[in-house]
Chain A
């Protein structure tokens, strides 16, 4: 668990870089992260813009993201955050790490169970973190490839719930396609 935020206004790292405190949905965890990392989330960025300086003081609560998921998401953000701390440059500056290193990180990052993957993709969508959203959606797409409908259902825990007529259609299509 990250250290509690400095309650006297904007927090800061030892190097003096601006930090932001993000709080998980159940209020159980507070994370202090570099501003550049937090701003990878368009949702956080907008919350700060709209709420003003106050938001950073008490920490920004994210009602849709639990502690475990938020920790994982911030792991991504910290890795992918640009080197520069100034918010205007956050979009333009490249990440601090090298390209290959990031790719390796991403590959390992998504080696998680289906429950975590679900939490990650929905969190990425809610937080509007483009890179993470692309990564998780692509992971799911790649997971689907090569699977039959039954295998897809099994992996994702989905039941088909087709009517008998729909079943007939589906069977006919699959007989033709496979």
Chain B
């Protein structure tokens, strides 16, 4: 079971749907996709036809000597009527009778019956003929994979109809897909991911735009996601390495964390600062976080814990918490920085939330990046999902997301994390999926953009890239070898590091330096137009 080639499947689906856009509508009982290819097959007969095609193939393989006569002597039906054509072919071949007539049909036609697991012993297998068993197993596996591919095609078609505004077709497709789901193994692979996307689509069609009432707090899910797979650890360790190197030689340092959560990133930095040559600096940490729902002052608690840790390792540490539900609500005056200290701004998967477009306003990132610059940070570490989920077209976004999250779920699967980490990590991802598929406008926060776009955006805003360096790469590689799955790969991309699964990058870490634009001259006059690099 490997990741499905969604790019190809999606391309095929979208090209067939776009080409049939102007063609006459096909009768509803014919399978639309095969019809697009020129074959008329009833949807209800699809699996029978598939089964017989398999038999035909096996028979032709076994009776190679008889085939030439088929080409010259026999009369065949029009192959576009696939069902009757394959029947006639089968009746022509002598070996088709080798399959006993009492052959039980292991593929129930009624929808809603679960698929037989190809690896499980098949209950109605009375005749123990190894070749037959092998044929059955391959056909079951092929049909299950076939169902998976059909699911993907159905998802694409549904997304395309959503984009066109055809809600009734979309709804019927959702029902069809939910039925298909019953025939696919939903505990792993395509079945599981498809389940989440179908759920999200149905939410969208029902108009439940906003996320439903989640039982678990986001922080809890985040923590389990941290433990289940290496992405967040990679983000933290890589950012810390860059910050550590930037703080070299400074005695007063200040870190601003855009999303403190439980502060898991900072113990390692505190410890590294404690052990650095020349002794630890004075460390200030400003943690930004949303208000906690039950009124507890979580930020302060986290700050106290970090302070205790810092005290144990003899690092002078002060903490300040800034409560804000959205990053754009934070104003520069809430983050006082002293000119003597080296400032590091740390954003782990937060900047993409600022790309939301209200048609009347510019996206908030336009106001946030300048105030980050005004803090004059020595370094800004940015970690973002390496995906293009902010496209205007729904179908494109949907396709990208399907591919991305399938890869992500595959990697979770292979890393075999312990429960409940895995289940809760999946819930964490499910929220992202829901947000991408169901929400629009300002409600859609998960607007992931790939590294190239971030490079352009940050470059325009007056940031220059900093190379992450070989130490960060070595550390990341070492971190990966500690994980039990072999598919993770760290790659270097023009000074940035990406972590991916089987050569598909999934998360990208980069570091930036602000080009100072505001210079306080001794007379107190601020010259905002002075763009010279005066350091």
**A in complex with B:** no
A residues with CB within 8 A of B: none
